[in-house]
Structure 1
Amino acid sequence: MIAETAKSLNDHLIELRHAFHSHPEVSGQEKETAARVAAELRTIPGWQVTEQMGGHGVVAVLQGAKPGKTVALRADMDALQITEENDVPYKSQNPGVMHACGHDIHTTALLGAAHLLAGQQAQLCGTVRLIFQPAEELSPNGGSRAMIAAGALGDADAVFGFHVWPDLPHGEVGCIAGPLMAASDHFSVTIQGRASHAAKPDEGIDAVVVGAQFINAVQTIISRCTDPLQSAVITVGKFTAGTRYNIVAETCELEGTCRTLNNEVRDFIEAQLQKTLDGICAIYGAKGTLNYERGYMAVVNDAQMTEQARETVEKLFGKQAIHSHEMPSMCAEDFAFYLNEKPGAFLWLGTGIEGETSYPLHNSKFHVDEDILWRGAALLTQLALDVTADGSQEA
């Protein structure tokens, strides 16, 4: 029933999605997006809407006619600083900004769930809270913590969300209990050497060489110092040094990221980076400074809530829609902070189309088949109905 009603809503969802997609706003600037979300919610009977939570966040609450649990559903609203290359009528009209991560789809699907849940209010057990969150892309200080601090979760018993996922076939849903996505940390290193003429390197301390040795050495933290069954990544993405080709560089600066799924491994890697830097600098007589900044924690799904999600997916789309063979991703998501507060699950909703080029998230040509909109709306709606109803049985 929910699936069929959601399908009938898809034309309206497409219109909404086109409006969001053509007017993207980056993290912290989602003023017009949030206003459109709130305006749409106020056209739907039953929802109590609160704006400007945690910045440009919007929260809507629907009280069911029967007692039961409280479930929170979350979508993110911000776009990325990417120039869109898709040639579509609803192409971004904001130069240099694009919904290349599918947040316009998440927002639209949650609005679809608002419509569907309003139609079920008489049968709804408990309460549903919709969280439209700004600044998900603003690592390491994404918008979830500000929303939580502002009371967006309220007295929720569980929280759910999803992310479109081009690595999975269209319409299939990834449901993994335990770690799903990685913690994302940022580090920067400054190495102080001593300049000299390039023809007399023995009179200087070459910061380029020290930096290169550091980069090579940190890779052994993963390959030789961590459990091979514990996933971890260290990537140095930026290396800046030197002023001229014939001068031994006096300083170099490095920046990189660490991705981990386990808190113990996270702690270990941070400590090992410092030890490695100290050791390399001691060998060459240089001085090194490490600045390690913790960003998003790992997304860890509750086992019971993940099983509930599997049952919901099977009920809606059939058992074949459950994609159970995927591995965790080393990408990050600040939905992790909601799961640190409440039990719940974050799901992947597949958008890959067989025979078509599947552009990855954060790509200037990322696009989806908009049939995915009703699927996302139905998934969120059915999750809310199933979990709140479970609460009514316990009462």
Structure 2
Amino acid sequence: MPLLDTYKGVLMMVQKINEMVDSIEDWIIEQRRYLHMHPEGSKYEYETSNKIVKELTKLGIEVRTGYYNTGVVGIIRGEKEGPIVGLRFDMDALEMEELTDVPYKSVNKGFMHSCGHDGHTAMGLGVAKALTKMKEEIHGTIKLIFQPAEEDAPNGGGAQHMIKDGVLENPKVHCMVGMHIWPQVELGVLGSRPGVMMAASDPFVIKITGKGVHASLPNLGVDPIVIGSQIVNNIQTIVSRNIDPFEQAVISIGVFKGGTRYNVIPESVRLEGTVRSFDDKVREEVYKRLKKIVEDTASALGGKGELDYKFTYPPLINDEKIVKIAKESIIDMFGKEKYLDVPRPAPGGEDFAYFAKSVPSVFMFLGSGEEGKENHPPHSPYFNFNEKVLAIGTKAFIKTAINLGRSFYAE
């Protein structure tokens, strides 16, 4: 195809996507506000799931349910031959009280959409509404995957369970696209990178058992608080002395619980923490060193240390080829200035990593940061975002999905 014709085709496609999404932008915002008002915790997204099924059914989309209890899949078959492109939208909220004063504030006490999943789900519904009127542009099939329990790291997250339930089969998904609203990136800018995009996220619990005694007679007991303090200090040597200086890892203790009274040395204490890493070998080394430090430090001081370590979300690794197509799609849609080559991986965990391990994938950050405003981070009780990002994200999903279908088919 001549270059001029290709350029004209791109412009026509961009115009069509812009017109289609702009015409439903208010509807997408309406969906987001409804979801924000009705947040539900991981594995219990019943009302959210029903809402998605209802909206997809209205659009005449083939709907499938039963994936890890509340997961939903929508199937949009194009008019041209091609691959199966999966688009993932996480939909769970966090257990926390919302402190914003927006009119669509959570009505479910103790739950809040403080990580943007309400926006992701609304964008998924926007993609569905737009693509039902653009089937002639789709090569192959687009599989909309609405995923529960992204925040449920201790239980493995919803992605791997949906995969076990067959979400990537029938029809078999060839590649995946995921996205996250990201206040650390400028509003309207989308970014990604080939290779490692986000960290492995592994929670752990340390139980230290000593011998309880009156605080005035420490020689008759074994103080688990002292043991725990030594363990916290010794843990700091793992990154500084056991990990290659050119590799990365983070180990943090977030909980240290023990004791009931000022003059009693307790029988036991409990520590909770997290490990973030970007390489599976580093991940394994941190675990081995942590286990040895816990057990040997406690033993040397007369107590017992037990480590309960969970390997949950692996590093999220983007496929170079899929990233290239996504980057071209964003530049086509919004211009070069709206694409960011992300310079380094983010330390946060993300269970889209399981999809990325299963099929070639790209995960992108959708910028929501605004200059001159306080941009509260995800998981803050004040978290919110400019709803202009919803249309931007919807357009990015659509253009990337269509381009992926065409690129795969061209091969």
**TM-score relative to the length of structure 1:** 0.96
Q: Does 1:367 align with 2:381?
A: no
How far does the alpha carbon of each residue in 1:33-78 deviate from its partner, in whole angstroms, 9 at most, with x for none?
Answer: 1111111112224x21112322111101111111111100010111
Q: Does 1:178 align with 2:163?
A: no
2:402 to 385, 388, 393: 385
SS at match of 1:294: coil
1:1-395 paired onto structure 2 within 5 Å: 1=15, 2-45=17-60, 47-140=61-154, 141-154=156-169, 155-394=172-411
How far does the alpha carbon of each residue in 1:286-338 deviate from its partner, in whole angstroms, 9 at most, with x for none?
Answer: 22111111111111111111111111110111111111244211111111111
Matched residue count: 393
SS at match of 1:126: strand
SS at match of 1:182: strand
| Residue 204 (structure 1) shift | 2.4
Greater mean alpha carbon deviation, residues 281-290 or residues 33-42: 281-290
- Alpha-carbon separation, structure 1, partners of 2:180 and 2:342: 17
How far does the alpha carbon of each residue in 1:180-224 deviate from its partner, in whole angstroms, 9 at most, with x for none?
Answer: 111111211122222333333233222111110000000110122
Amino acid at match of 2:124: L
| Residue 376 (structure 1) shift | 0.9
- Alpha-carbon separation, structure 2, partners of 1:346 and 1:57: 20
- Alpha-carbon separation, structure 1, partners of 2:330 and 2:137: 20
SS at match of 1:171: coil
| Residue 354 (structure 1) shift | 0.9
Does the CA-based 8 Å contact 2:326-2:362 persist in structure 1? yes
Greater mean alpha carbon deviation, residues 8-17 or residues 209-218: 8-17
- Alpha-carbon separation, structure 2, partners of 1:282 and 1:31: 47
- Alpha-carbon separation, structure 2, partners of 1:227 and 1:270: 15
Does the CA-based 8 Å contact 1:174-1:326 persist in structure 2? no
Does the CA-based 8 Å contact 1:239-1:253 persist in structure 2? yes
Amino acid at match of 1:81: E
| Residue 346 (structure 1) shift | 0.8
**TM-score relative to the length of structure 2:** 0.93
- Alpha-carbon separation, structure 2, partners of 1:300 and 1:168: 20
- Alpha-carbon separation, structure 2, partners of 1:24 and 1:76: 12
- Alpha-carbon separation, structure 2, partners of 1:381 and 1:359: 28
Does the CA-based 8 Å contact 2:192-2:342 persist in structure 1? no
Does the CA-based 8 Å contact 2:299-2:305 persist in structure 1? no
Cα 1:278–1:121 shift into 2, 3 Å:
same
- Alpha-carbon separation, structure 2, partners of 1:161 and 1:289: 37
- Alpha-carbon separation, structure 2, partners of 1:369 and 1:294: 35
Does the CA-based 8 Å contact 1:165-1:349 persist in structure 2? yes
Q: Give the % identical residues.
A: 39
How far does the alpha carbon of each residue in 1:163-189 deviate from its partner, in whole angstroms, 9 at most, with x for none?
Answer: 000000001112111111111112111
- Alpha-carbon separation, structure 2, partners of 1:243 and 1:366: 35
| Structure 2: runs of 5 or more not aligned | 1-14
CA RMSD of aligned residues (A): 1.4
- Alpha-carbon separation, structure 2, partners of 1:21 and 1:199: 53
| Residue 9 (structure 1) shift | 1.6
